[in-house]
Amino acid sequence: MDTAERTNLVTRFTEEVVTESEIESLFEEGTPSAYIGYAPTGEMHIGHFTTMRKLADFLEAGIEVTVLVADLHAHLDDEKSPFELLDARSTYYRTAIEAMIEAAGANPDGIEFVRGTEYQLEAPYTLDLYRMLAETTLSRAQRAGSEVVRQSENPKLGGLVYTLMQSLDVAALDADIAYGGIDQRGIYMLSREILPGHGYQKPACVFAPLLSGLSGGKMSASEDESKVNLTDDDETIAEKIQGAYCPAGEVADNGVLEYLRYLVFPVLSQDNRSFLVERPEKYGGNLEYEAYEPLEEAFVSGELHPADLKPAAAAAIAEVVDPVRERLLDEPELLADAYPETHG
RNA sequence: CCGCCCUUAGCUCAGACUGGUAGAGCAGCCGACUGUAGAUCGGCUUGUCCCCCGUUCAAAUCGGGGAGGGCGGACCA
């Protein structure tokens, strides 16, 4: 595979790449490394799944991928996860992540897993962090983390330390590429700004789009109806998709189309399978799509109606999520230990 | 260490001074209208009033204690 092909794999279906020429250079120089971090807070959902799906592209492009389970971060961000639950949630996250990567058609064995507390509790990490704390203003750190860290009336110091820690994680994990949702942009731009001053390389960045919620607007992890959970069964998924905001002909804020574009079609294409829409004869009969683009065109033109698309989308999404749910429910203690209040 | 303020529905809050076991907006749910959903109408639900003790026929409301959160002071003057 040449540099152009590899670069294309890395940059396809992304929101932003900083910068494409830096990615190309990395491929020219050798085997690049990339990392993505997840703070083990609430239960994982389909939004995580789409960023995870993209890791298959990274692996195929020959990149060394590290997944950070950022347990300390989960507590530093307004104590989203109680300190006592960090072990259980880290275990659950790792299992869920492996299941998603496998469901996306990639091999999780090719990925290195690291837990934050494995390296964040001692020098040189701590010393670098203290020095960065000394030279970063409150407002700079606040601005960098504003899209990631929970904003509240009485913000804790932890949120600001969180931001600087994540800026440093890229270097600590020796990653050439920082990958994450576009909400992470502020933090990695801070990385690019301050890491060179500490003897580290500034990372290239790849940002994934954030999915729209099913109820319109941004997806909210706390609103159960606005997203598909990894533990939702086929029927629940069908109900959620059925209730989703999905105006005919409109692509903007359309969560159903986004799920198809970023999750369903990439997974189907691995096996050269197509997407079937069953439609009553009175509306023209069944439709079949080999790629997302023609489906979107049909939707925009009005040829494909939301009422026909929704059941087909629900079935396809359920098929992708099924193995992940099976895996998680196969070890019920994973969820019970991580979320004793809802699964205990 | 001292002082002041806050805690009521999932969320934001009203009600407290002048005790009579609680309300609004938003959210949510259900119908109508759309070949989906949304929007728009119509209807509905929701509560250990932070906890304990006391006064009283009666406490979200008054008194005492406690918990959690916030703000300020105390040194420099």
Domain ranges of chain A: 3-208, 224-343
A170-203 burial code (b ≥16 CB/10 A, e <16): bbbbebbbbbbbebbbbbbbbbbebbeeeebebb
Residue A245 CB in 7 A reach of strand B:
yes
Gap between the Cα atoms of A118 and A50, Å rounded: 27
pLDDT band at A221 (very low <50, low <70, confident <90, very high): confident
> Which 135-164 residues of chain A approach strand B with CB closer than 7 Å?
154
CATH architecture of the region A224-343: Orthogonal Bundle (1.10)
Gap between the Cα atoms of A54 and A217, Å rounded: 23
Instruction: Count CA atoms within 13 Å of residue A282 on its CB side.
Output: 0
Q: Answer whether A3-208 and A224-343 agree in fold.
A: no
Residue A343 CB in 7 A reach of strand B:
no
In this predicted structure, what is the pLDDT of residue A219?
A: 77
In this predicted structure, what is the pLDDT of residue A205?
A: 98
pLDDT band at A90 (very low <50, low <70, confident <90, very high): very high
ipTM entry: 0.85
> Distance, angstroms, CA A204 to C1' B38?
39
Per the prediction, chain A carries an average pLDDT of: 94
What are A26-76's pLDDT values in tens digits?
A: 999 999 999 999 999 999 999 999 999 999 999 999 999 999 999 999 999
> Distance, angstroms, CA A320 to C1' B23?
47
Q: 3-state SS of A80-97?
A: CCCHHHHHHHHHHHHHHH
Helix segments in A197-305, DSSP class H: 234-242, 255-259, 265-270, 292-301
* CB burial of residue A271 (10 Å; 0-12, 13-18, 19+): exposed
> Which 265-304 residues of chain A approach strand B with CB closer than 7 Å?
279-280, 283
CA dist list (Å): A116 to A8, A79, A102, A157, A318: 31, 16, 23, 19, 32
Gap between the Cα atoms of A148 and A39, Å rounded: 11
A45 beta partners: A229
In this predicted structure, what is the pLDDT of residue A225?
A: 78
Strand B: positions under 7 A of a protein C-beta atom:
28-29, 35-38, 69-71
Give the closest nucleotide to A282 (alpha carbon vs C1').
B35
Structure tokens at A4: 């152009």
In this predicted structure, what is the pLDDT of residue A57?
A: 94
Contact A55, A104 (CB under 8 A): yes
* CB burial of residue A153 (10 Å; 0-12, 13-18, 19+): exposed
Gap between the Cα atoms of A148 and A182, Å rounded: 10
Give the closest nucleotide to A306 (alpha carbon vs C1').
B36
> Distance, angstroms, CA A232 to C1' B26?
28
- Overall CATH class of domain A3-208: alpha beta
* CB burial of residue A254 (10 Å; 0-12, 13-18, 19+): buried
